[in-house]
Amino acid sequence: MLDSVLLAITDLCTSGYRLSVSWDDYSSAIQAVLICTNEDDPNYALGMSARHPRADMCLATLVYKHEVLTEGRWEDHLSGGPTGTWS
């Protein structure tokens, strides 16, 4: 599984996305953020995140979220607008 997750992350990073990974002491978890940097993409300047104590699960969750939300704008998947919660 890890090989396919790393390949997917590599593909995203070479096709207009920026990945940031950090450790959060408060929650004792790794947080990964994927931000669209492709100006031609409807999700330009938008981001999504995932967190998990294990790096592989954190990245796998992020790849899963990206795959699920590939149609349309990511904001369309929020209820109550950009500051809402995932529906």
pLDDT digits (tens, 9 = 90+) for 8-52: 999 999 999 999 999 989 999 999 999 999 999 888 999 999 999
Expressed as residue numbers, the domain containing 40 is 2-86
Find the CATH number of the domain harbouring 80.
3.30.160
Q: What angle do CA 81, 73, 12 make, to 5 degrees?
A: 130
Q: Give the other-Cβ count within 10 Å of 56's Cβ.
A: 13
Among candidate residues 20, 63, 16, 73, the one with its CA nearest the CA of residue 43: 73
Give pTM, 2 decimals. Answer: 0.77
- Tell me the C-alpha distance between 11 and 29, whole Å: 24
Count of domains forming the chain: 1
What's the confidence (pLDDT) of residue 77? 64
Among candidate residues 75, 36, 35, the one with its CA nearest the CA of residue 83: 75
